[in-house]
Structure 1
Amino acid sequence: MGIVYVLTNDAMPGIIKIGITEESVEARIKSLDNTSLPLPFRFYFAIESKRYKEIEKLAHDTFSAFRIRENREFFKMDPERAVSALKISGDKEIKIANKMIDEEGTEIEDKTTPNRRTGKRFSFSSINIPVGTELTFTRNEEIKCTVIPDDKVEYENNQYSLSGLADKLLRELGYDWKSVQGSNFFEYNGKTLYQIKKDLEDDESEESDDDIA
């Protein structure tokens, strides 16, 4: 048996690591921490499977267009896309806290890390999503919420911030995460809000480069 994992790193926003280990995920995160990295990795998702090597290869092949380098396990992509692909296997999911663990095995508190929210502050209007739009929760497509004024969403007749609702729903699924970025966990037209925001920012950056040229 082995584990296929998805890790993120606060020092590398927008980039994920898809790899395998025969140890625990915590032990793998600990072993990956070294002086070449400003921050340890953070757990995002993992499954345990007898076919772990096969599943990893399939994931790497599927997302080859997003791979940073051919001989590296880093991909510039939405982490929820990797989650969706791994969940198809039907193998047992591993649920642990999304904490960072350094080489000494010590948990690093979020307050000691740089601001995880990069780029412009999230708002529905900034990604052209109007009030009344229905969003889908990525971890359970049967769960929907509706965009309402003041960058809030409505779910079961209650109002939430996007991250607040994501946190609530993830906890109901058995996750115990200290911090949640809501835009990663809701999608519109098959894309997470995080990816929609990132695509728009990339387009703006390209237009700016064209103007300079």
Structure 2
Amino acid sequence: MKLTGGKDVTPKDDIAEDDTGIEALSKAVSKKRNYVFDNAGVKVGDVLTYSGDDSITATVVAPKKILFEGEPMSVSKAALILLHREGYTWKSVNGWQYWGLDGQTLSERLSTHQADDNDEEDE
């Protein structure tokens, strides 16, 4: 948002022309591998923060589930709920890009932990 003077220019609708394009887009944004929170150094009981609003939190309750608004669900489902409230009409998102811990998204934490694991293997 620094490049746009603080204005969010992210398209609110899926950017595909037809159902085939939307299906391809959904596959492209889906995770390539099925990770659990532990892969990113996140433990049951940790409190995650939504990247769009630091006052929105969820608690990790299982290896792949958070408790969000009183309901256990995936981070992707919770992110999609919040994005829909913000006016986005996307059909799927990678929740690991929208939830985080200690100032890093889960995706960033995963990359860091994978790099650390690779460094340990090289030693």
Q: What band does the TM-score fall into relative to the shorter chain? A: 0.7 to 0.9
Matched-pair contact (CA < 8 Å) for 2:57–2:68: yes
Alignment correspondent of 2:106: 193
For residues 92 and 188 of structure 1, what CA distance do their matches in structure 2 show? Answer: 23
| Amino acid of the structure 1 residue aligned with 2:89 | D
Per-residue Cα deviation, 1:88-114 (whole angstroms, up to 9, x for no partner): x4436454224356xxx9972334856
For residues 169 and 115 of structure 1, what CA distance do their matches in structure 2 show? Answer: 17
Per-residue Cα deviation, 1:102-146 (whole angstroms, up to 9, x for no partner): xxx99723348568423x422112222111111110011111111
Tell me: higher relative CO, structure 1 or 2? Use CA pairs within 8 A at least 6 residues apart.
2
Alignment correspondent of 2:31: 117
Tell me how large the CA RMSD over aligned residues is: 2.8
1:187 deviates by 1.0
Q: Tell me, which stretches of 5 or more residues in structure 1 are unaligned? A: 1-46, 48-54, 57-85
Residue 160 in 1 paired to residue 73 in 2?
yes
Per-residue Cα deviation, 1:140-181 (whole angstroms, up to 9, x for no partner): 111111111242111221221111111111101111112110
Q: Equivalent residues in 2 for 1:82-161 (5 A)?
A: 89-91=5-7, 93-100=9-16, 108-111=21-24, 113=27, 116-118=30-32, 120-161=33-74
Report the TM-score when normalising by structure 1: 0.49
For residues 115 and 177 of structure 1, what CA distance do their matches in structure 2 show? Answer: 11
> Which structure has the larger Rg over C-alpha atoms?
1
| Amino acid of the structure 2 residue aligned with 1:117 | K
Identical residues among aligned pairs (%): 24
- Structure with the higher helix share, 1 or 2: 2
Q: Which runs of 4+ in 1 moved over 6 A?
A: none
Matched-pair contact (CA < 8 Å) for 1:124–1:130: yes
Count of aligned pairs between the two proteins:
122
Q: Secondary structure at the match of 1:129?
A: coil
